[in-house]
Amino acid sequence: MAESRIVTVCALQFACTDDISTNVDTAERLVRAAHQKGANIILIQELFEGYYFCQAQREDFFQRAKPRKDHPTILRMQKLAKELGVVIPVSFFEEANNAHYNSIVVIDSDGTDLGLYRKSHIPDGPGYQEKFYFNQGDTGFKVFQTKFAKIGVGICWDQWFPEAARAMVLQGAEILFYPTAIGSEPQDDGLDSRDHWKRVMQGHAGANLVPLVASNRIGKEIIQTEHGKSEITFYGNSFIAGPSGELIADANDKDEAILTAQFDLGKIKSKRHSWGIFRDRRPDLYKVLLTLDGSNISL
């Protein structure tokens, strides 16, 4: 029998204001409530300190970025994690000299900063103009050994890439976490990606035989852009998937939520190993993945 290792994971979901103090207070309130429900690892949504400002290309929005060192929200979450004995990945807009990143710090249950991941895939489309603000991440995909589990964290657009999920699990990630900000498409009122969004990540969970946690915001946010007002209604639908891709818990598109699920990582590890998907991989045949157009695969 596999050695039992029980962990309870959590996805939070809430509407953001454009006031840092209000949002961080909300995050702390929900983290405390999640802890009361037995959560060990608690995921807060992407860039939760304020509105999703990437609807616009505005020079003044760079003032929202702060260096990682002595970042007030990170320091506050370190204190909270230590007090409650929980793990908290914290998303923030990072300033690093003249570079800027969409970043996350993973805080362990004793308040230790375990390290930094910078978002690798940066989108650029109507309402989601992140390339104006963020450099491409330079950390590579990372895995963090926390008290409760070895975890991998991707950020929003990273969640659409199976290579990212596989890279983290190859490094030993036992659970995947994806903080997110996604909703309506300003250029197309008829486009609703929520089901597609969920199915893609459920596929990552199933293909890698690991649980997966996704946290998204809710609410309507209006940003003044260079061309007038832009509006996104964020569709929530935060969820937790099991290691076969099954939905364990999910939220709706309107309400604040604290989703929890318990997993036996020892049992899941045994199933993952016996399933054979990592035994039967053929990295020698995957060189095409190192190209952009499928040609020149002799690299």
Rounded to whole angstroms, the Cα distance separating 255 from 211 reads 23
46 catalytic per annotation = yes
Rounded to whole angstroms, the Cα distance separating 112 from 78 reads 7
**Core vs surface per residue 43-56: b (16+ CB within 10 A) or e:** bbbbbbbbbbbbbb
Strands 239-241 and 212-215: antiparallel
The one catalytic residue in 10, 16, 28, 46 is 46
Which residues are CB-contacts of 36 (< 8 A; sequence separation ≥ 6)? none
Strands 150-153 and 175-179: parallel
> Is residue 233 a contact partner of residue 220, using CB atoms and an 8 Å limit?
yes
How far out from the chain centre does Cα 283 lie?
27
Task: Quickly list DSSP for 160-225.
Answer: G-HHHHHHHHHTT-SEEEEE---B-BTTBTT---HHHHHHHHHHHHHHHT--EEEE--EEEEEEEE
The one catalytic residue in 16, 28, 156, 174 is 156
3-state secondary structure at position 104: strand
CA dihedral 183, 185, 186, 189 (to 10 degrees): -110
Which helix (H) or strand (E) element contains residue 268? helix 265-275
The one catalytic residue in 28, 54, 94, 119 is 119
Point out the residues that are catalytic.
46, 119, 156
